[in-house]
Structure 1
Amino acid sequence: KAMEDVLKDRGLKKGGAVLLDIEKSSVLGMVSKPDADMSKQQTLQNYMLTPIYPGSVFKTVIAAAAIEQNEVKPGTSFNCNLNLYGEPGDDKGTLSFGESFAQSCNYTFTSLAEKLIKKDDSVIENMAEKLGLTQRAGWEGKLYREDGFRQLYNEKSGVIWGDDKDKTVKKAVAQTAIGQKNVKVTPLEVANMMAAIARGGEKKQVKIADKIEYKNKTTMASFKEQPLKGENIDKYTAQQLQKILREVVTSPKGTGRRFQDLPYEIAGKSGTAQTGMFTKEKQTLYHKWFAGYFPADKPKYALVVLHMDTPGDKALTNTVFYDIVKKVHENEINQT
């Protein structure tokens, strides 16, 4: 209810937010805008369960692969005056790996992706899978005679490559590395990735219900905690990711510096994805993300906010993220 109120008060028309309890791996709140209207088919889609271009949030995957493959040595620096294709076109100067992540330097992550993919052309989708971005996040399993019962009926799963040939095309690799081209993931998957990193790498299925009860309150069926299939990232990779996700907020030029004065310490990553669409006034429309977890030192919550099809300067993502964190804090104080 509080999350619905924040999105309504701030006027976020398309997109939404999802808040997870990290320890229980359960949904505390999920809001998708626009509100459902049975007479308008396009409003019946839950965007939090729909694959969407993630933009630079996807750099988390490239960072994880670079850490795991030991591509980032202490003292390594990157020329962030170059754009994603390695041509002059940006003005961020020379940055370390952590600064590159905090300031979202495209060149750092496109050049790392190029190196990584030359060694192993499956490295990006393999790391995305380890972080839970290529399989549905919601609880699935046996319920009575139904083997494939799903708590989140309409949930889709993320996609990384549209065509394997793209792995040999420099520009396609660069666009993939920054969460464009064919990369699409759901906000729920992204929130679940943040929860996995926060708990040291362990990825789990997300529940929206613990059990089904009979009318007399006895248990009809319970949903046990379940891991997501496949390998996890190792503890060292998770620790290094935690460090750079925190730097996004603590760094004076970090894209999440606005969250420094919140009552919790925040760790996270911003994302801006081009949609290929424009307003009538020819302004570019973007999907604007912020995905993170808090409190950074003892994580309890993972939160993703997405504002879709918005001009960059009109994006409400950070405002809504800020307000939801404050609501969570108020809620905690009221419960104690």
Structure 2
Amino acid sequence: MLLKTNQIKLLGLVLGLFVLLISMCASVVYGYANTTWTMAYHAFTQFDGSNEHIILQTVRLPRALIGATVGASLAIAGALMQALTKNPLASPSIFGINAGAGFFVVIAVSLFQVSSLQTYTWLAFLGAAIAAFTVYFVGSFGREGLTPIKLTLAGAAMAALFSSLTQGLLVVNEAALDQVLFWLAGSIQGRNLDSLTSVIPYIGAAFFVSLLLSSKINVLAMGEDIAKGLGQRTGTVKLITAFVIIILAGGSVAISGPIGFVGIVIPHLARFLIGNDHRWVIPYCAVLGGILLVVSDIGARYIVMPEEVPVGVMTAIIGTPFFVYIARRGFRN
């Protein structure tokens, strides 16, 4: 733990918020269309209807807001999953939650030609919930009950299953393939504020509840027997935490598709900085997750300019070596 006192942790959080704000401003300014910081300022203070101002207002700004929201959501979901399962590899992507949410959205697009953002959101929640509870159920089989390694294997199996089913649907429906291919790689390109406003009430509520749960998760982390001895209703805490994870992961997938590795990398980085106190881990995950996804999205615009790489590819490039490192360390908290 690098930041030891509450004053230093608070200072670090404020600094992180400043970096996130600067990153979002850079996301608004930089891209294929040649714009400047001055032009961006004028787009929001002296709008003149030019192409550049329209791009800055209707394309770049929503993209920056969505990147910060999705990154924060996935990071918090990963931190809650790791705390709940005591598994350092737990994340919405590894446990198949993202894949389940994505599968249900693809069903809606390919079989029922659904185009409603609100419908996408609810289907993503449903798919995330089914995937999460299936992984928990499968991981609980056997004499030893629920263990980190069994959860990881069950999650990997469910992720592979949902991904295969998704690909199968798209193979027989080429029109749907054109609609969702870029989305399935994990991308916030081309999203507008309607995409964000359709899920922000649910994600905002989940953020708030996760903060309320933080002290209870600290108690639960000491062991279930100790938590029960202190009067905690552990089953209720686990169930509410699971629903928060489903809302955060499902809402993120509804906006941007299944983006991986944010939920693995950021919680470990947050704990490295400020320790295991979830009253600090959760807000740090929100800020650091937002920074990671916004910066990754900026990088994705320049790798094969004038084309764009999906931001999910960028997070995979960053996250894969980290995943291998955590896996080689073993299951130690």
Q: Which has the higher helix share?
A: 2
- The structure whose RCO (Cα within 8 Å, separation 6+) is larger is 2
Task: State the TM-score, normalizing by the size of structure 1.
Answer: 0.31
TM-score, structure 2 normalization:
0.31
More strand by share: 1
